[in-house]
Amino acid sequence: MNRDQIKAKDNEYIVHTYNRYDIVADRAEGCIVTDVNGKEYVDLCSGYGANSLGYANEAWLSAVTEQLNKLQHISNLYYTEPGVMLAEKLAKRSGLCKVWFANSGGEANEAAIKTARKYGNTLTDHKKNTIISLKKSFHGRTMATVTATGLAEAKEVFEPLMPGFVHAEVDNSEQLRELAEKYDPCAFLMELVQGEGGVHALDKGYVQTAAELCAEKDILFIDDEVQAGIGRTGTLFAYEQYGIEPDIVSFAKGIGAGLPIGGIICGPKTCDVLVPGDHGSTFGMNPVACAGACVVLDTLDDKFLESVKEKSEKIRSELLKMESVTGLDGLGLMIGIDLDGMNGADAVAKLLEEGVLAIPAGDRLRLLPPLTINDEEIKRALTSLKKVLNN
Ligand SMILES: Cc1ncc(COP(=O)(O)O)c(C=O)c1O
């Protein structure tokens, strides 16, 4: 099929839940995506943060293909090695206890919500089940996660939403304390670096206050690291930079390096809350996705994470020299850019013409490059960014 035929069939046969950019992607290697016309793009979006190791990463490809040739799927009714290997790595590296596997970030957060609800309904000294999430947050597209999401999307058309969710102001410790008193929640649900809401790194003092409230009032801290986790911020998990230990961490995107996988890591209070019959997922703990994810975690050692920080500093210092850039937010290679004279969507459109893939986040321009982006690719991206952001 040629480019126009692919677009016409997409229009005819695919439910229109995405406005696509005018690119028909064909193949990719490293951080360079090539479209069907042969035009190349430096990818600073990495499949919405999912392609943590870029494209065609050799170690990941060989682990995935080897596992595909051995056993592609079997179900959670049976034991398999890749799942337990991955769970052990996640538990040990997070300092938490046990993992439950899903296929996506939304599904991971559903599991977190169900765990918190069961905990509050059955395991605290009195029954409680409200969940406090944040304004401008994004937690997924399922009914519970749409309700938890604080971004003002078109929620009315999906009413009735789920009961038991309250939205708190971002970085307002006093209000969080008041809401905790008023609603007696079973959990706080937060992205420590808000992604869709504009790439905003929450204030450290605020997050620590939230953690203190959790300890005081037996509230679970659910940390949504679907976008910020797995090395994106320069540490394996963003919470390491906030000096807190969450009760549940949800993860997805980057751990799959391009395959659908997500899940939650549970701490001592939550690791035995769910029991057989409470929850499940046909493809959860899929051996192929888990074999690839093990390579991701092995790649993200201390030296690699240090390189993520260095790349972040380099890109950020160059961005700050560009005329239209008025401020930067986010952590590591999760970069939110405030612009003068254009919004994120305008910048993304211009960057496409210059051969760079990026995405907006609110009014900001957002960069989520593969963590493996090399010097040459950074140089190429910065040349295009300068052309667009120096006017
Ligand atoms: C912080 C956060 N949570 C949850 C999700 C939902 O993940 P998924 O699209 O894999 O369901 C996203 C997706 O962008 C996200 O950024």
| Residue 250 alpha carbon to ligand 1 centre in Å | 10
Q: Is the CB of 195 under 6 A from ligand 1?
A: yes
Q: What order do you get walking across the sheet with 131-134 strand by strand?
A: 98-102, 262-266, 248-251, 220-224, 187-190, 131-134, 165-168
pLDDT of residue 209: 98
Tokens for 305, please give them.
């994470």
**CA-proximal residue: ligand 1, atom 7 (nearest):** 105
Q: To test ligand 1's pocket by mutation, which of 133, 142, 227 has the most ligand atoms within 8 angstroms of CB?
A: 227
Q: Is the CB of 140 under 6 A from ligand 1?
A: yes
DSSP track, 322-366 = STTEEEEEEETTEEEEEESSS-HHHHHHHHHHTTEE-EEETTEEE
The stretch 269-284 carries a mean pLDDT of 98
| Residue 230 alpha carbon to ligand 1 centre in Å | 13
DSSP H/E element including 148: helix 143-148
The stretch 16-21 carries a mean pLDDT of 96
| Residue 387 alpha carbon to ligand 1 centre in Å | 31
| Residue 258 alpha carbon to ligand 1 centre in Å | 14
- Do 186 and 171 touch, CB atoms closer than 8 A? no
Residue 268 has pLDDT above 80, yes or no: yes
Rounded to the nearest integer, the mean pLDDT of the chain is 97
| Residue 79 alpha carbon to ligand 1 centre in Å | 28
DSSP track, 77-100 = TS--HHHHHHHHHHHHHHT--EEE
The stretch 352-359 carries a mean pLDDT of 98
Nearest CA among 311, 317, 287 for reference residue 373: 311
pLDDT tens by residue, 99-135: 999 999 999 999 999 999 999 999 999 999 999 999 9
**CA-proximal residue: ligand 1, atom 3 (nearest):** 139
Q: Is the CB of 109 under 6 A from ligand 1?
A: yes
Residues 176 and 281: their CA atoms lie apart, in Å, by 34
Tokens for 255, please give them.
């751990």
Q: Is the CB of 150 under 6 A from ligand 1?
A: no
- Tell me, yes or no, if the pTM score tops 0.95: yes
The stretch 363-389 carries a mean pLDDT of 98
**CA-proximal residue: ligand 1, atom 16 (nearest):** 227
pLDDT tens by residue, 187-246: 999 999 999 999 999 999 999 999 999 999 999 999 999 999 999 999 999 999 999 999
Q: To test ligand 1's pocket by mutation, which of 137, 138, 170, 281 has the most ligand atoms within 8 angstroms of CB?
A: 138
Residues 64 and 61: their CA atoms lie apart, in Å, by 5
pLDDT tens by residue, 44-54: 999 999 999 99
Residue 159 has pLDDT above 90, yes or no: yes
Ordered domains of the chain (ranges, CATH): 59-299 (3.40.640.10)
CB atoms within 10 A of CB 250: 31
pLDDT of residue 154: 75
Residue 153 has pLDDT above 80, yes or no: no
| Residue 193 alpha carbon to ligand 1 centre in Å | 12
Residues 344 and 324: their CA atoms lie apart, in Å, by 11
pLDDT of residue 152: 81
3-class state of residue 172 by DSSP: coil
| Residue 147 alpha carbon to ligand 1 centre in Å | 14
Residues 171 and 361: their CA atoms lie apart, in Å, by 18
Q: To test ligand 1's pocket by mutation, which of 107, 139, 232, 366 has the most ligand atoms within 8 angstroms of CB?
A: 139
Q: Is the CB of 227 under 6 A from ligand 1?
A: yes
- Do 108 and 252 touch, CB atoms closer than 8 A? yes
Q: Which atom of ligand 1 is nearest to the CA of 142?
A: 11
The stretch 379-388 carries a mean pLDDT of 98
